Amino acid sequence: MSGVRDTLQRFRARLGTGPGGFLVWWGQALATWLPARWRVLLGLTGDRLLFQRHEDEVAMAWQQAAHRHALARLPATVTPGELRALLGTRLAELPRWWLMPADKVLRRRLLLPSAAADRLRDVVRFEIDRQTPFAAHEACFDARVLGVREDGQLDVELVAVPKAIFAAGLSGLGALGGGLAGADVEDADGLPLGVNLLPEEARVTRQAPQRRLHLVFATVAVCAMVFAAWRVLDNRQAGAEAFAAQVEANADAARRVAAQRQQLVDLVAGTTTLNQTSARRPTALEVMDEITRRLPDTTYLEKLAIEGDRLTLIGFSPEASGLVARLQGSPLWRNPALSGALQPDPRTRMDRFTLTAELLGKQDPSAATSAGGADAAGHH
């Protein structure tokens, strides 16, 4: 039952993306019935060329379905014209992708409602400030759906990298960096994750290989459909039944449109809630800046964690007992306290501490100033 449910959910998600998404899904489903050699011949396996920078060379590989074949190591000064002369006709037409190393990107797991599937990038854009130490306009990012839970929620992975790091790595490909269709990330098995971090305006779309053969098959398919339609129209009874089925299908489509409209309303409401929540809570950068200004230079942190409204600090300090007083009066949190006893560290000759605090919402600057003055007067 779970397999059928997942299939239906993927089908509804494809319908939600419009006629183009449905046709892509339908074509991929039909392609799975073809033999493997036919799918390779027709260019339906998603083949692409992968490029990685290794020291002074660029490693080139061919991804064929779920397999990766190493082709050659090229000098970093190679040009697209030289690459085309090196490759055969079929490989030269494949889309070219930059495969980024995994240690250059930041990955976060998210749980999102099923309605977010239609606008996944727009939804995760609002999560970047909370899940990463940089803003959305400062990063190249993408997201992929890892699975669908039984309650309908999407298990999503956010993949992001600062634009400065992205640009520096892309420049390492030399002239090959200008003709890319995308930028993916290498997983633990050496295969791409299935994301595209390259900005849309920089992507180069290539004509699919074996295009003429595709057109021939499409023409044959159209002729077969016309012949089938003529045979159906030759029988009045079959035509009447087909008309009744079409009316019922239109009714189902109308019901689906109504359901999708409600999903869109829910998505807008959820996006508004995310915006309001993000605006009320201090960002990770604000919290780290406030901590840096309040902690003495002799103190260093081993861990800083923000889980919901709870702030946790773990580190070492020669004056750990006085850190609570230093953290008092901040407009970003309240009730700072030591969690557990101080633990002397003979190696550093410092005390290991664990501090917790409750994060507050953002305040008006005048209110924050008055609150800080009142707190200071109370301590005085």
Total residue length of the chain: 380
Q: Is the pLDDT of residue 42 over 70?
A: no
The domain limits of the chain are: 1-33, 34-211, 212-279, 284-379
CA distance 127 to 105: 16
Q: Could you tell me which CATH number the domain at 34-211 has?
A: 3.30.420
Q: Is the pLDDT of residue 6 over 60?
A: no
What are the backbone dihedrals phi and psi of residue 260, each rounded to the nearest 5 degrees, phi first? -65, -35
pLDDT tens, position by position, 227-247 = 777 777 777 777 778 778 888
Q: What is the pLDDT of residue 358?
A: 92
Q: What is the pLDDT of residue 224?
A: 81
The domain at 284-379 falls in which architecture? 2-Layer Sandwich (3.30)
Range of weakest confidence among 255-264, 294-303, 331-340: 255-264
pLDDT tens, position by position, 14-28 = 444 444 445 555 665
Which long-range contacts link 208-212 to residues 24+ away (Cβ below 8 Å)? Answer: 208/43, 208/93, 209/43, 209/90, 209/93, 209/94, 210/41, 210/42, 210/43
Instruction: Tally the C-alpha atoms within 13 A of residue 354's C-alpha that lie toward its C-beta.
Output: 7
